[in-house]
Amino acid sequence: MSNEFTLSTGGYTAVVTARAAALRVLQFEGRDLVVPFPEGGPIPDYRGVIAAPWPNRIADGTYSFDGDEHQVPLNEPERATALHGLAFPLDWVLKESDAGSLTLSCTVGPTAGYPFVLELSARFTLDDAGLHTSVTARNAADVAAPYGVCPHPYLVAGSSPLDEWVLEFAADSFLDVTPDRLLPVGVVGVEGHDFDFRTARRIGATEIDHAFTGIAFDGGLARLSLRDPAGTGVGMSWDESCPWLQVHTADKPAPVPSRLGLAVEPMTCPPDAFNSGTDLIRLEPGAQHTASWSMYAL
C-alpha cells in the first residue's frame, strides 16, 4: 500500500498520507501554505489529520449516549482527555483517484468506548482555486452513533514570524475554557477582547487555543484570511456544516519551536460535545453526514 498520495495542478501541490488521511504538504508555487512534516515518520501535533468521530477533547474520556456510559482511551494524559477522535492512528485506503482528486476511506469502530461503526471517506480535489476536502461519515451499524469531525491544518502565511501575520475571520463569540484542561466554561462575545478578528489585524503576542462560533456565512461559506506583511498569504473557507472554528497559535514551551503556524480547524461541534450535546451529530443507522472545506493561496 502506498504511504502517501500526491496531487499537482495550477501551481499547487498537495501530499496526503495514508496514515490519518493527513495533509502532509500543501504548496503554491513552491511556497508552504501549511506546516509540513517529514515523509515516513510520525505526524507531529496532529498536523493535517482528519479528527473524527470527534474533534478536540472529551473530558476524562467519558460520555453518555442513549443511556449508556462509555469510556474511550485517554491520549492527552496531562489533561485527562481523549483528543481528536479515533481515526488519526488508522491507515486510510485509496478508493478512487484521477489526475486532480483522490478519495481515501477507513472504518472507525467498534472499539473501546466507541461501540459504533462508521465508514469514513475523505475526498481531496486540487484545482486552480486550491485544495478542496470533503469528509463523509456513514453509520454502518444498526444503532445510532454520536459524531463530529474537523481538519487539523497549521496554516502558514509566509516567512515572517506568526506574531506579524494579519488574521481576519468573522466570528462574534468564543468558547472560554479552563486554563489547565482547556475544557468549556461558557460562550463569551469577542467585542473588546483580544480574540476579536472580525477586522483584519496583527496576531501579535496573543495566545489562542479556543473555539469560535457566531460565524458569518456568506453564500453558504465562511472564510478566514491569514496574511504575511511581506505580501503572501493563505485562506480557508468552509461550509455551514461547521458552525465552530478552533484557532490555535501553536504555542510551545522552550526549547520546542513555538508558533510555527496557525491551526485553523472548522468543526461540526465544539470541544467536549460528546458530553454537552452542543451541535453533536446523531447519525442514525444508514445515515450519512458530509462536511467540506478549502485551502488556497492569497
- Torsion on CA atoms 45, 298, 241, 63, rounded to nearest 10: 10
Q: What are phi and psi of 19, to 5 degrees?
A: -65, 120
Global pTM reads 0.97
User: CB pairs under 8 A, 24+ apart, for 24-30?
Assistant: 24/48, 26/131, 26/153, 26/295, 28/130, 28/296, 28/297, 29/297
**Alpha carbon 119 to its chain's center:** 18
Q: What is the pLDDT tens value at each position of the chain, 298 positions in all?
A: 579 999 999 999 999 999 999 999 999 999 999 999 999 989 999 999 999 999 999 999 999 999 999 999 999 999 999 999 999 999 999 999 998 999 999 999 999 999 999 999 999 999 999 999 999 999 999 999 999 999 999 999 999 999 999 999 999 999 999 999 999 999 999 999 999 999 999 999 999 999 999 999 999 999 999 999 999 999 999 999 999 999 999 999 999 999 999 999 999 999 999 999 999 999 999 999 999 999 999 9
Q: Which amino acid is at 133?
A: T
Show the cell assigned to 260: 510555527
pLDDT at 99: 85
Q: Which of 14, 209, 32 is nearest to 101 (CA)?
A: 14
Residue 2: the pLDDT is 74
* Total residue count of the chain as it appears in this document: 298
Q: Alpha helices, DSSP H only, in 101-210?
A: none
Q: Which residues contact 196 (CB under 8 A, 6 or more apart)?
A: 190
pLDDT tens-place string over residues 239-278: 999 999 999 999 999 999 999 999 999 999 999 999 999 9
The pLDDT score that the predictor gives to residue 1 is: 59
Q: Exposed, middle or buried, 293 (CB in 10 Å: 0-12/13-18/19+)?
A: buried
